[in-house]
Amino acid sequence: MTRPLLLAAALAATVLTAVPGVSLAGDASKVTLVYEHELPNVPGKSIRGVLVEYPPGGSSEGHTHPSSAFIYATVLEGAIRSQVNDGPVKVYRAGENFSEMPGDRHGVSANDSQTEPARLLAVFVVDTDETELVYPLK
């Protein structure tokens, strides 16, 4: 196996272990770990970038993240309907962003369109030893 194929296989395996518990209603979505790096000036912390692609009508189940995670999300395409904690449900369009603090609950995360896809990039600052980034709400 060539080096690029080995790297692709390793990244795929990392995605499957790093983002379990993300399930979407409607058509299947794509969740991809696109970046991971330990922070050299903050021992024990890493930054991870996760690309979430929602098909038309797609949505994630309500979830939380590790208690060490700070998340900054930017909508890259389309419009995302989101609710954090008991705040209002808001629609974020391409170029807009939101953040989640450690311990926040993300009750709504959905494509606001039934006809167009939507994508967002979620950037996590999280403890390096965290293996799961998403936990379903109970």
For domain 3-136, the question of CATH label 2.60.120.10 is answered with yes
Span 9-31, average pLDDT: 45
The predicted pLDDT at position 73 comes to 96
**Interval 23-82: pLDDT, tens:** 334 454 688 999 999 999 999 999 999 999 999 999 988 889 999 999 999 999 999 999
Residue 138 to residues 88, 92, 102, Cα–Cα distance (Å): 20, 26, 17
Q: How far apart are CA 87 and CA 106, in angstroms?
A: 10
Residue 11 to residues 70, 86, 102, Cα–Cα distance (Å): 22, 35, 26
Query: Is the pLDDT at 6 greater than 70, yes or no?
Result: no
> Is the model's pTM score more than 0.85?
no
Q: Are strands 59-60 and 24-25 parallel, antiparallel or unpaired?
A: antiparallel
Give domain limits for the chain: 3-136
Categorize the per-residue pLDDT at 13 as very low, low, confident or very high, splitting at 50, 70 and 90: very low
**Interval 49-60: pLDDT, tens:** 999 999 999 998
Please tell me the chain's helix, strand, coil percentages from 3-state DSSP, rounded to the nearest 5: 10, 50, 40
Residue 54 to residues 12, 27, 42, 70, 96, Cα–Cα distance (Å): 18, 8, 33, 22, 16
Angle at 96 between CA 94 and CA 99, to 5 degrees: 130
Span 71-100, average pLDDT: 96
